[in-house]
A = this chain, B = another copy of it.
Amino acid sequence: MLISAAGPGSVPVASPTGAAPTDFVPAPQAGDYPIPANPVVAVCGATGAVGRVMLETLERLDFPASRVRALASARSAGTTIPYTGPGAPDSGQLTVEEMTPDSFQGVNIALFSAGAAITKQFAADVNAAGAVIIDNSSAYRMDPEVPLVVPEVNPADAHRHNGIIANPNCSTIQMVVALAPLVKLAPIRRVVVSTYQAASGAGQAAMDELYNQTGDFLAGRSFTPQAFAHQIAFNCIPQIDVFLPDGQTKEEWKMVVETKKILHNPDIQVNATCVRVPVLRSHSESVNVEFDAHAGKYVLSLSDVRAALASAPGVVVIDDPEHLDYPMPAFTAGRDEVFVGRIRTDPTVENGYQMWVVADQLLKGAALNAVQIAQLLLP
């Protein structure tokens, strides 16, 4: 389906962001996917952990849909999910439909959270029906034709798409929200990050496994890990996603390459260690930042760093050591923002700073970010 770039509701091409173009920024495209003021939205993978939160978020943010549809595999078809936001059926219940190549007629925005293989399977059909895909999987994130968007960081990229916009990996999203205000202070040379990632990042079955396995552990019952490779109850697993030949995991690699792409900076160096911890749904990150010293050209202070974070969109600073106040994953579940605390100078390197970044993996790390991208597409 091709519609004239001049047609009604065509997506305006964003003005340049000021950042030097890199290989990662796709060329501006014509507005082949016009989005009406009240679009039809399909949530694809609606019964998964992220899909459910996508629906909750559309409802909570009063996303101005004319209709919302819930698509999933045949297994879930016919079940119902409560939905009372704009575009809800009179019953207040969405009936889950089986996702097939014919599911997308009349859809304007398809929010996918069904895994990379499913997105790839259906992408051509979705685009042929005239719908834009906002995909939570890793399928297209590093495709140079596909923008990778965090609305607080690189919103203009959302308008340069060819029918697919990628939602970054959860651990990347919350880190770049905290890095974006800092790169406005001075170039960042290097980031060393260690993550404390919740079970939710591996889906609903993984959250259930942490919950149930912990009960089994306390009761002295035996259990067999399924969603995770090893016991997760009272344990830390220093592996998320598969291993790559260089000894990194794919999750660690994602943090490296996605950060470069989102920040439009192929030179920023990221070293990541990604660890699963027995937490239900918020990720935490210990982030060490080295700004470029440039022989004294950039001299920053802790106040500069604090002020930049405190005024950044989507960031809430919680950093009051005197009252033992800092972000913690158990208390940020269900919150939209990225929480930053333990902000301090790292005296072991020139222009070094350390911070602790926490966000709800299901919201800002996935569903909320996807819905925010959809908001960017509204005329």
Which residues of A does B touch, CB under 8 Å?
190-192, 194, 196, 210-211, 214-215, 218, 229-231, 233-239, 243, 246-248, 269-271, 273, 275, 277-280, 284, 286, 288, 321-322, 324, 326-331, 341-349, 352, 354, 356
Known interface pairs A215-B218, A234-B279, A269-B349; A344-B243 also in contact (CB < 8 Å) = no
- Starting from the known contacts A192-B346, A231-B330, A243-B322, 20 additional A-B residue pairs (CB-CB under 8 Å) come to A194-B286, A196-B236, A215-B218, A230-B330, A230-B331, A231-B328, A233-B330, A234-B329, A234-B330, A235-B331, A236-B329, A246-B344, A246-B345, A247-B342, A271-B348, A271-B349, A271-B354, A273-B356, A275-B286, A278-B278
Query: CA separation between A229 and B320, bound complex, in Å?
Result: 14
Nearest chain B CB to A280 CB, angstrom units: 5
Whole-angstrom distance between the alpha carbons of A243 and B321 in the complex?
Answer: 6
On whether the beta carbons of A278 and B277 are closer than 8 Å, the reply is yes
**Closest approach, in angstroms, between the C-beta of A331 and any C-beta of chain B?**
8
Q: Known: A190-B348, A279-B278. Is A237-B321 also a contact (CB below 8 A)?
A: no
Give Cα A34–Cα B212 distance, bound, in whole angstroms: 55
Residue contact A247 to B345, C-beta cutoff 8 Å? yes
Give chain B residues whose Cβ lies under 8 Å from the Cβ of A230.
324, 328, 330-331
Q: List chain B residues, Cβ under 8 A from A231.
A: 328, 330-331
Of the A-B pairs whose beta carbons lie under 8 Å apart in the complex, a sample of 18, sorted by A's number, is: A211-B218, A214-B218, A215-B218, A230-B324, A234-B278, A234-B279, A234-B280, A234-B329, A235-B328, A238-B326, A238-B342, A247-B343, A271-B347, A271-B349, A271-B352, A273-B286, A273-B342, A273-B354
Instruction: Return the contact of A236 from the options B190, B191, B248, B279 (Cβ within 8 A).
Output: B279
Within the assembled complex, what's the spacing in Å between the Cα atoms of A27 and B236? 42
- Shortest CB-to-CB span from A189 to chain B, Å, is 9
A248 / chain B contacts, CB cutoff of 8 Å: 344
| Contacting pair B239 A192 (CB below 8 A) | no
* Closest partner residue, chain B, to A356 (CB atom): B238
Q: In the complex the two chains form, what is the Cα distance from A269 to B348 in whole Å? A: 5
What B residues does A284 contact at CB under 8 A? Answer: 236, 238, 275
Q: How far is the CA of A102 from the CA of B342 in the complex (A)?
A: 46
Chain B neighbourhood of A321, CB < 8 A = 239, 243, 247
Set B191, B196, B237, B238: member contacting A275, Cβ < 8 A: B196
The residue on B at minimum CB distance from A288 is: B192
Could you tell me if B346 and A271 are in contact, using CB atoms closer than 8 angstroms? yes
Q: In the bound complex, what is the Cα–Cα distance between A279 and B233 (angstroms)?
A: 8
